[in-house]
Structure 1
């Protein structure tokens, strides 16, 4: 849906822009010339109604001229600066909750055209720990949000609910790093649940960023469903060049790179940087309100994303 909206926005901007240019440099001067000719042929001053009938543009032209600046601003803002997204699931709990509305920085990872999504200006590359929005590789019509775990060339192991990272090492390096566990410090249990059991919250200390994750101790490893990569163990992954390994912070309730593979660089949308609104949808069983109507605003969640 986001792809179709981008195409629609570009088309509307082009059409209204063409009409705006045509009116500014041709149609409006022609109307003024017509008014001057009409006035020169009349002995009396033209009435306001007559002047209006000559100088006023058609409804299509007037509407295009009025909305073009707004549409063009929205296109630039959405395509190259910031785009709003809504969090639809709990795969990024506790960092992001269902009902959070976030802003995604579209220029952090380089500028792309809004239709073909070809990068035309380099800015920076994703870093470990970034919360990234991207086109789901299995179905690019769907936007996913996960945390960047592995960069191109990294080796990743997720074993017994413990994450290990071996950073990429060039062939010319004299000494390469070994696998290092990502330190997970227990914080609390029972603050969140997945409908079956309480989840344990940990502080995960990645090399670049520290963030919180949730782990379900009762969920067994699902290595049989992991993405199959030739030459590696069932729970080990080697990130190809130009691609990224991502995971949800809600470790046992996330469909991520462990199951479908890697995110190509061309699928990247941007970095999630802030929560600008957060609605609470929790309600009692006796509530008569439809499930899509929020029951409150979580003002304490507004702000930057770690």
Structure 2
């Protein structure tokens, strides 16, 4: 092989290897892409929204072990988080944190109370006027240490902590950060949502 071509080929291979390592490091420690597959977070998040999830914010974890090297900040009320679904760790779920460790959560006729105070939640929607047990009347429950109570914004159509319990702190993958792409099938690209911060 021509030495000049050999040198060029080696440079390309080196550049590709560096790019792959950087991509792996970024995905492991910094951000990860996530697609919204269901309507449980409507209207905040639409089906077909593609998000970047900030994995660095809640602490850097060692791959394969889940051991946290250091924390940047703790998850807090109102954060929209991606986490391992407690009933199937191979699936990722996205919900909003309603209760942090030590909080007492109660739901009365669709209204959510935290530590006895009714929450103001402008982001939620209800699609069913009926009141049903557990979904619309729940608790009170105290959130255990290192766990979080999470709910979808589309309250009547969300499978969340009311049904399967709490989210473990070490199962949280990150905080939803920004919408980088949004579409509802070809050719329905929602350009107005691209670049929106998730909150």
TM-score normalised per structure 1: 0.60
Per-residue deviation, 1:83: 1.0
Structure 2 counterpart SS, 1:280: coil
Structure 1 counterpart SS, 2:18: helix
1:156 and 2:117 are equivalent in the alignment: no
1:52 and 2:52 are equivalent in the alignment: no
Range with bigger deviation, 66-75 or 245-254: 66-75
Task: Give structure 1 stretches of 5+ with no counterpart.
Answer: 1-48, 167-178, 184-203, 205-210, 227-232, 282-293
Cα distance in 2 between the residues matched to 1:80 and 1:154 = 29
Range with bigger deviation, 124-133 or 75-84: 75-84
* Aligned residue number for residue 191 of structure 1: none
- The answer to whether the 8 A contact 2:85-2:92 is kept is yes
1:220 and 2:112 are equivalent in the alignment: no
Cα distance in 1 between the residues matched to 2:127 and 2:142 = 26
1:90-105 equivalent positions in 2, closer than 5 A? 90-105=39-54
TM-score normalised per structure 2: 0.90
Cα distance in 2 between the residues matched to 1:234 and 1:212 = 20
Range with bigger deviation, 263-272 or 108-117: 108-117
* Aligned residue number for residue 96 of structure 2: 147
Cα distance in 1 between the residues matched to 2:149 and 2:104 = 10
1:116 and 2:27 are equivalent in the alignment: no
Task: Give structure 2 stretches of 5+ with no counterpart.
Answer: none
Q: Runs of 4 or more off by more than 6 Å in structure 1? A: none
Cα distance in 1 between the residues matched to 2:102 and 2:126 = 27
Cα distance in 1 between the residues matched to 2:190 and 2:110 = 31
- Decide which structure has greater helix share: 1
Cα distance in 2 between the residues matched to 1:130 and 1:295 = 32
Cα distance in 2 between the residues matched to 1:135 and 1:120 = 19
Structure 2 counterpart SS, 1:297: coil
- The answer to whether the 8 A contact 1:246-1:262 is kept is yes
Change (3 A) 1:234 1:101: closer
Per-residue deviation, 1:234: 4.9
Cα distance in 2 between the residues matched to 1:156 and 1:56 = 65
1:250 and 2:158 are equivalent in the alignment: no
Larger radius of gyration: 1
Structure 2 counterpart SS, 1:140: strand
* Aligned residue number for residue 198 of structure 2: 305
Cα distance in 2 between the residues matched to 1:256 and 1:100 = 20
May I ask how many residue pairs the two structures share in their alignment?
197
* Aligned residue number for residue 272 of structure 1: 176
Change (3 A) 1:151 1:217: same
- The answer to whether the 8 A contact 1:219-1:252 is kept is no
**CA displacement, residues 27-83 of structure 1 (integer Å, 9 cap, x when unaligned):** xxxxxxxxxxxxxxxxxxxxxx5x639x949x9x88863422011110111111111
Change (3 A) 1:234 1:100: closer
1:55-74 equivalent positions in 2, closer than 5 A? 56=6, 65-74=14-23
* Aligned residue number for residue 176 of structure 1: none
Tell me: higher relative CO, structure 1 or 2? Use CA pairs within 8 A at least 6 residues apart. Answer: 2
